[in-house]
Amino acid sequence: MRPLKNRKRVVIVGMGFGGLNAARELAGSNLEVLCLDRQNYHLFQPLLYQVATATLDQESITYPLRALTHNWDNVEFIKTEVNGVDLKTRAVQTTEGPLAYDYLIVAAGSATNFFGNDSVQQHAFDLKKLSDAVGLRNHILSAFEQADKTEDEAERRALMTFVIVGGGPTGVEFAGALAELTHGVLIKDYPHLPVHETRIVLVEGQPHLLSPYPTPLQKYARKRIEKLGVEVRLGAMVSGAQADKVFLKDGSEINARTLFWSAGVQAAPLAATMDVPKARAGRILVEANLTLKEHPETYVIGDLAHLEVEGKSLPMLAQVAIQGGKYAAHSILACEAREEIAPFDYFDKGTMAVIGRGAAVAVSSGLQFKGFLAWLMWLGIHIMFLIGARNRLATLIGWAFDYIFYNRQVRLITDDDF
């Protein structure tokens, strides 16, 4: 990177929703902006489960970062791994060496939280990276291939049993998509296999699904997910796992070859390398303007940041990251212009979760929506936030094809090891 003369440098760590929006807002400014990420693409994480369940191909939810930044004269992307941050010398430590900064925006996101359960971490699938989704799809489809060949009834049942831990939006959405894949699509692919016996168990420690949602929507979600054939176990917790079993704290066990974990998230590992105060799940405590108390030039946004509003921490949602990225950029520009800026004020646009074909729940502006209308809202919001016309069109076509023909074209096993 050739330094831009007489320009201050902003380094953005992580090009998820927060980092990308910060870079976009800083484009065209009189600042040198370096965007760092270990991948060369932006990933639309909310739809990873649809790659895992063969609804969408992986290219539909990714977009090359250089294709975004090459039109911004003052912005450059560097593919690198960030190992730490030296706050005193104002340098980001990368695999290519240190990068000095005048302003820093840390938007490294989150990681799956297994709460110290090593056996679960060893045997469970999660969805944080693109490779996770492709690997899980390979595993699911291979399980049916193996079940179709085996003569052992117990082994076949274990291969066709899927345990999903976590009754939040990710767990509910994945369970619904998996149920539709097995009972609506794979049942036709394997005429000699009793696919109707597929068992999908959704385990949630709380007494209800979708904890942040109003009670009527929680009840609706459970009714719809059970109608799809998903077995819901509330007030249950997983204590351990092995390759062919999942153990529950009540002493029971489930014979299953697939365990999917969506029961918790924590700050990305980068947070642990930073010697700053932290809150629950390793999230970094920030001031009302999203900066570090002792380092006002450093902004921490999105899932990595812990900021309490009215006694509650801001949720780890895409909207929080998007608004935080825009705010950090505007704050830096205001600082350069020697202007004041108000504290970060998160505007809750609502939350939503899809349960299956034509069914979803949503809360927006104090209003509750469920069923087909909520499903249409969910479709529209996700299409709008995807990057690139090709991705929007490909996703829309994929959804339409699945809805009209009840078929999924991307049920491919792409790893020879499966």
Looking at the annotation, which residues are catalytic? Answer: 173
Residue 43: count other Cβ atoms within 10 Å of its Cβ.
21
Residues of 58-93 as b/e, b for ≥16 C-beta within 10 angstroms?
bebbbbebeebbeebebbbbebbebeebebeebbbe
- Beta strands at 8-13 and 103-106: parallel, antiparallel or unpaired: parallel
Residue type, 251: G
What is the distance between the alpha carbons of residues 62 and 391, in angstroms, rounded to a whole number?
8
Helix (H) or strand (E) holding 94: strand 91-94
| Structure-block tokens of residue 165 | 């831990």
Whole-angstrom CA distances from 176 to 193, 256, 405 are 21, 18, 17
CA dihedral 39, 41, 46, 51 (to 10 degrees): -90
What is the distance between the alpha carbons of residues 358 and 372, in angstroms, rounded to a whole number?
5
| Structure-block tokens of residue 376 | 């249409």
What is the distance between the alpha carbons of residues 418 and 401, in angstroms, rounded to a whole number?
27
